[in-house]
Amino acid sequence: MTPELMRTRGAALRSRGGDAPGTEGSGGRAAGYGRRVQAGELDLAHGTILYLEDITVSFDGFKALNALSLDIRAGELRCIIGPNGAGKTTMMDVITGKTRPDAGRAFFGSTIDLLRLRENEIARAGIGRKFQKPTVFEQLTVFENLELALKADRGVRAAMAFTLSGEQADRIGAMLELIHLKASAAQVAGSLSHGQKQWLEIGLLLMQDPKLLLLDEPVAGMTDEETERTAELFLSLEGSHSLVVVEHDMKFIAELTRAVRPDAPAKKVTVLHEGRVLAEGPLAQVQANEQVIEVYLGR
């Protein structure tokens, strides 16, 4: 499928996503210019979806993050690279509330203080995270996995009584296409390839309608073809979602940072090293940076 086609399908999915359960009072679907934002609602009026300032995390005196600052724009697809131990996963742990920093500030939109929220509250506010290892329900079919993601947050009793509306079934159908699993809808998730499981997990995340997606090494272990399709998928989400993608696969990074429109400004890549930003800018620029070559890319 071409990126253009996928983008169209993504838009169709989004327009149908307005009644997704579990996102009430958050997610900021309608938040934006020209209307007042309510407390706890995502406020994107200033264009920033994620703001980290001087975040420091110490483990027994060792600074895994050392005054890390980061600014992600709404709709941006930001790639983060850097050597092992640079603090990339720790940064995601801070954003999702898994790890509390010793110092610094972290905001989702301009009003939601992430350091005051618990993990489940952060997820409900609209931040979805994909871990490296896929976590899907292996015994259920692909379709049932997505159905369950729709029912999430309803509680057991409500989930059992829940029947899919036509609109919700359509939404699952559109998601199956987006994640390239239409032909495998009736297949048990445990029998999928590693790459397909990763896509299913991304689909499960997307069913919750997150505004910001954090993806930690999403193409690790994928075949070249699966990696290319994953890049297409992420590019189709750009704009409607904000994505922070951590990867070591530079070919994948090059694909993600490629301009989808000729007039689009170059996407930024952030290089983390020793818990802070070493360099940030268009891929070609960070690839030519002497320090980046020294600590990460090699000669």
Ligand X SMILES: Nc1ncnc2c1ncn2[C@@H]1O[C@H](COP(=O)(O)OP(=O)(O)OP(=O)(O)O)[C@@H](O)[C@H]1O
Could you say which of Mg ion, ligand X, none residue 242 binds, taking C-beta under 5 to 8 angstroms by partner kind? none
Q: What is the CA radius of gyration of the chain?
A: 19
Which region, judged by CB under 5 A, interacts with Mg ion, from 11-19, 55-63, 85-93, 96-104?
85-93
**Which token pair is 171?**
């939404």
Decide: 74 and 81 in contact? Cβ < 8 Å. Answer: no
Residues binding ligand X: number (CB under 6 A) = 10
By CB under 6 A, residue 90 contacts ligand X: yes
Question: Looking at beta carbons only, is 99 or 289 nearer to ligand X?
Answer: 99
Q: How far is the CB of 89 from ligand X (least distance, A)?
A: 3
CA dist 274 and 67 (Å) reads 10
**By CB neighbour count within 10 A (0-12 exposed, 13-18 middle, 19+ buried), where does 248 fall?**
middle
Q: Which is nearer to ligand X, 66 or 187 (CB)?
A: 66
Provide the phi-psi class of 140: left if phi over 0, else alpha when psi is between -120 and 50, else beta. beta
Q: Which of 90, 108, 87, 86 minimizes the C-alpha distance to 99?
A: 90
- Is 64 one of the binding residues for ligand X (CB under 6 A)? yes
- Decide if residue 90 touches Mg ion (CB under 5 A): no
84 binds, among ligand X, Mg ion, none (CB under 5 to 8 A by kind): ligand X
From 44, 68, 77, 86, residue interacting with ligand X (rule: CB under 6 A): 86
Contact 240, 209 (CB under 8 A): no
Q: Which of 23, 89, 198, 270 binds Mg ion (CB under 5 A)?
A: 89
Sketch the per residue contact string, 181 through 200, with ligand X: x for CB under 6 A, - otherwise: --------------------
Q: Which is nearer to ligand X, 2 or 84 (CB)?
A: 84
- Give me the least distance between CB of 32 and ligand X, in Å please: 33
For residue 158, the surrounding DSSP H or E stretch is helix 156-161
- Number of residues lying near Mg ion (CB under 5 A): 2
Q: Does 102 bind ligand X (CB under 6 A)?
A: no
**Chain-centre distance for alpha carbon 88:** 14
Beta partners for 80?
Answer: 246, 270
Please say which residue, 58 or 187, places its beta carbon nearer to ligand X: 58
The whole-angstrom separation of Cα 245 and Cα 128 is 12
Binding flags for ligand X, 65-84, as an x/- string (CB under 6 A): -----------------x-x
Q: How far is the CB of 154 from ligand X (least distance, A)?
A: 33
Burial grade of 22 (CB within 10 A; 0-12, 13-18, 19 or more): middle
Cβ-based burial of 1 (10 A; exposed 0-12, middle 13-18, buried ≥19): middle
59 binds ligand X (CB under 6 A): yes
Told to check if 40 binds ligand X by CB under 6 A, we report no
Q: What are phi and psi of 211, to 5 degrees?
A: -95, -30
- Which residue in 3, 22, 85, 104 binds ligand X (CB under 6 A)? 85
The yes or no reply on residue 87 touching ligand X (CB under 6 A) is: yes
Of 58 and 285, the one with the shorter C-beta distance to ligand X is 58
Residue 32: left (phi > 0), alpha (psi -120 to 50), or beta?
Answer: left
Q: Which residues bind ligand X (CB under 6 A)?
A: 59, 64, 82, 84-90
Q: Which residues bind Mg ion (CB under 5 A)?
A: 88-89
